[in-house]
Structure 1
Amino acid sequence: MTPIHVGLVADPASPTDIARQMADLRPPGDEHRHAWDIEIVSEPFTTGCEDIETALTRLGEHARRHEWDVVVGLTELPLRDDNDGRYLLVETDPLRRSAVLSLPALGGVRVRARTRHAVRSLVGGLADRTSEDEHRVRLPRLSGRWRLLLGMVLANRPWLLVPGLKSALVAALATGAVATINSTVWLLAGSLSWWRLVIATVVSIAVVVAWLVIDAGLWDRPDDDSAAARERSRLYNTSTLLTLIVGGLICYLALYLVNLAWALFVLDPAVMGGYLHASLGYRDLFVLTWFVASAATVGGGLGSSLESDEAIRAAAYSKREEERRNRLARDRT
C-alpha cells in the first residue's frame, strides 16, 4: 500500500527535539491502514499565540512544497480562541489536512508521551478524513489556564537559571562565606524571629526577580491596545515571573545548603558563643545560615548584570517569540 506522507513542522529547540523522537510513529491498531512516511522540519512557523490561521496557512504551504498528505505543527506557544477567550490544545483544518498542537497546554508533565499520543490521533483522523469540520480542543476556562501556565513554566526549565547565573552565585557564595564568620551577623541573626527570617527570604527573592526582569528587559508589553494583545502579555509576564521565582528558590536553597556546609565545617558555636558572651549551639548555625542566605541572595542577584543575558532571557516567552519573529523574517527575505 502507498504510504501516507506526514510532515511534522516544529518550533526550534524543545518542540524539534520532541518531533525527532516521533520519526517512527505508526498508525494506531489497524494493520490494514496505510503506513506513515514521516518527515520533520524545524522552523518557527508561529508568530503569536493569537494568530492560529497564519500558522495553519504556513503549514499548508509546507504541505504543498513537500507534497505531504498530512501536516501537524508543534509549538511551545499558547493558542487562544479570540471568540470566547479560551486557550486551546489543538486546532485542526481537515480541508487542508493540517493541525497545530500547543505543547504547554499538555501541562508540562509527561509531555513527550502525551505529544506522541496526540500526534498519532491527529494524523490518524486527518489521514482517514473522519471529519471535514474544523475542530478545536479547548481547555477548561479556569483550570486550563493554570495547566497552561504550568506547561509554560516547565518549558522554560527554570532550573537552568542556576548554571546561567554563575557569577551571581559565586558572588553570593563569597558574600555568605564572609558573613558567616562575622560576629555582627551572628548577633543580627540571633535577634530575628522566625517570621522576620521568612520575610527576609521572600524580600530577597523578590528583589532578585525584579532586578533580573529590569536588567534583562524581560517585561512584555502589548503590541497594540486589543484585548488579545493585553491577554497575551499578561500570560507571558506571569509565566516569566513564575519561572524566575522558581529559579530563585532553587538558587536560594543551593546557597543555603552550601553556606550551611561551610558553617558546620569552620565554626564552633561554643567558641563564637564565648566571644559574644552568649550561649550558642548548632541550632543557631541553621538560623545563621538562613539569614546569610537571604543577604547573599540579594548581593549575588545584583551582580547578575555581569552575566550574559542568554540564559535569563530564555526564561521569557516574549523574548523567545521575538527571536522567532526575527528568525522567520530573515528566512523569508
Structure 2
Amino acid sequence: MKRIQVGLVADPAAPAEIARRLIDLEPPGGEDRDAWDIEMVCEPFTMGSEDVDAAMARLRDHARQHEWDVVIGLTELPFRDVDDGRYLLAETDPLRRTAVLSLPALGGLRMQKRARLAVRALVAGMAESTQDEHSGPLPRFTSRWRLLVGMVLANRPWLLVPGLKSALVAALTTGAVATVNSTVWQLAGSLSWWRLLVAMLASISLVVAWLVVDGELWDRPDDMSAAARERSRLYNTSTLVTLTIGVLICYLALYVVNLVWALFVLDPAVMGGYLHVSLGYGDLFVLTWFVASAATVGGALGSGLESDEAIRAAAYSKREEERRNRLAQERS
C-alpha cells in the first residue's frame, strides 16, 4: 500500500472552509486501498478570467510545485463546457490526475456532504487505474436551475440584512410614526387586498432596483459572444434572486416589528371612535401591511443604502472581479 498525495486548491471563504473539512477524507474500500495525504491551498480561483484549459494548467502547476499525485480545484463560480455550452459540475483530466469542481453546481443544499462525496469520487477515480465501485459515478454536467439555486444559496441572501441596517432603522422609524397617523389608517382601510399586495411587490422591487443601481451590481458581458451574454444573464439572475430574498426578509422583519408596536400602543376602538368607523384588532394586520410597504420605500430610499461587503457579496460578478484583481496582483 502506498500513500497518494492529494492537493485541494480552493476559493477563499466558503470553498476554503469546505476544503478544510476534507483534509481527513479517506479512500473508499477500506484498508486494502492506498492511503491519501491531503493538503489544502487557498487562493482566488476565478473561472471567468481564463478558460477551463488554462485553469487546469494552473492546477497542474500547483501539483508540480507541491509534488501532488492528484489535484482538485474547488470553486464557487460556474463554468461551461467549451464544446456544447452545458454547465459543468466537474471537469477532469484523468491522464494528468487533475480536476475542478464547481460547488454551486451541487445545488446549494447539504454542501459539505455533497462536496465530500464528489471529491472522494474524483480522487478515487483518478488515483486508481479504474473507477472504484464504492466511489460511485460522478456526473459531468448539471442543470441551469440546479446551478442557479446553488449560486443563490452561495450568496447567502440572509446576510444582506446587515448591509441594510441604516435603511432598516429609517424604515422602522417611519413605520412607528405612520402607525399612529390617522391618515395612514384611512388609506390602509380604503385599499383592497390586491392593492396591498401590489404595494408590497412594488416596494420590494423598488428597493431591489435601487440596490442594483446604487451598488453597480448589474453585470455586462465582456464581449458580444453567446457565452459571455449567457454568463451575464446567469450572474444577473442570481443577483436579482438573492437581493429579492434578502429584501423580503427585511420586509417581513419590518412587518413583525411594526405589528408588535401597533398591538402594544394602539387601541382600535379609540382610533375607530376618532375616525367614526368600527375598527378591531384584525385591522391592525392590514394597517401594518400597508405601513411596511410605505416604510420600506420611504425609509430605504430616503436614508441611502450601504454599498458594503454584504451587498456586494450578493453579486457573483463582483466577487469574480475581486478575484481577478487579486490574481493579477499576485502574478505581477
Q: Bin the TM-score by the shorter chain.
A: over 0.9
Q: Does 1:155 align with 2:158?
A: no
Give the match for residue 106 of structure 2. Answer: 106
Is this contact kept in 1: 2:49–2:324, CA < 8 A? no
Match of residue 211 from structure 1 = 210
CA deviations on 1:118-148 (whole Å, 9 max, x unpaired) are 00010011111337xxx97012xxxx11111
Specify the alignment match of 1:59 in structure 2.
59
1:100-179 alignment runs, 5 A limit: 100-130=100-130, 137-139=140-142, 144-179=143-178
Q: Distance in 2 between matches of 1:9 and 1:42?
A: 6
TM-score normalised per structure 1: 0.95
In structure 2, what is the equivalent of residue 322 of structure 1?
321
* 1:267-282 pair list within 5 angstroms: 267-282=266-281
SS in 2 for 1:79: coil
1:195 to 1:306, Cα distance in 2 relative to 1, 3 A:
closer
Provide TM-score, normalisation by structure 2.
Answer: 0.95
Matched AA of 2:71: V
- Structure 1 residue identity aligned to 2:17: D
CA spacing shift, 1:255–1:2, aligned 2, 3 Å: same
Which amino acid letter does the alignment assign opposite residue 240 of structure 1?
T
Gapped runs of 5+ residues in structure 2? Answer: 132-137
CA distance in 1, matches of 2:148, 2:307: 26
Q: Is the 8 A contact 1:212 1:304 kept in 2?
A: no
Please report the RMSD computed on the Cα atoms of aligned residues, expressed in angstroms. Answer: 1.4
Aligned 1:196-275 pairs, distance under 5 A: 196-275=195-274
* Counterparts in 2 of 1:203 and 1:3: CA distance versus 1, 3 Å: same
How big is the shift at 1:225?
Answer: 1.0
Q: CA–CA distance in 2 between the matches of 1:136 and 1:274?
A: 68
Moved over 6 A (4+): none
Amino acid paired to 2:27: P
Give the AA of the match of 1:185: V
Give the distance between the partners of 1:202 and 1:50, measured in 2 at CA.
39
One-letter amino acid of the structure 2 residue matched with residue 14 of structure 1: A
Does residue 45 of structure 2 align to residue 45 of structure 1? yes
Percentage of identical aligned residues: 76
Task: Tell me whether 1:9 sits opposite 2:9 in the alignment.
Answer: yes
The DSSP-based 3-state class of the residue aligned with 1:72 is: strand
Determine the C-alpha separation between the residues in 2 that align with 1:173 and 1:50.
Answer: 46
Counterpart CA distance in 2 for 1:225 and 1:152 is 23
- The CA distance in 1 between the partners of 2:19 and 2:302, in whole Å, is 38
SS at match of 1:118: helix
Taking a change above 3 Å as real, the CA distance of residues 304 and 234 of structure 1, as seen in their structure-2 partners, is farther
Q: Secondary structure at the match of 2:112?
A: helix
Paired residues of 1:12 and 1:42 also in contact (CA < 8 A): yes
Give the C-alpha shift of residue 303 in structure 1.
4.4
**CA–CA separation in structure 1 for the residues paired with 2:85 and 2:49:** 12
Q: In the alignment, which residue of structure 2 is the partner of 1:70?
A: 70
Q: Give, in angstroms, the shift of residue 82 of structure 1.
A: 3.1
Kindly indicate whether the alpha-carbon contact (under 8 Å) linking 2:214 and 2:305 is maintained by their aligned counterparts in 1: no
Q: Which runs of 5+ in 1 are unaligned?
A: none
What's the CA shift for 1:306? Answer: 4.5
- Supply the distance in 1 between the matched residues of 2:33 and 2:140 (Cα, whole angstroms): 25
**Structure 1 counterpart of 2:79, which letter?**
L
Q: Deviations over 1:94-115 (max 9, x none)?
A: 1221101011011111111000
SS in 2 for 1:204: helix
Structure 2: how far apart are the matches of 1:60 and 1:115?
A: 21
Q: Indicate the residue corresponding to 2:84 in structure 1.
A: 84
Report how many aligned residue pairs link the two structures.
Answer: 326
Task: Give the Cα–Cα distance (whole angstroms) in 2 for the partners of residues 74 and 182 of structure 1.
Answer: 55
One-letter code aligned to 2:158? W
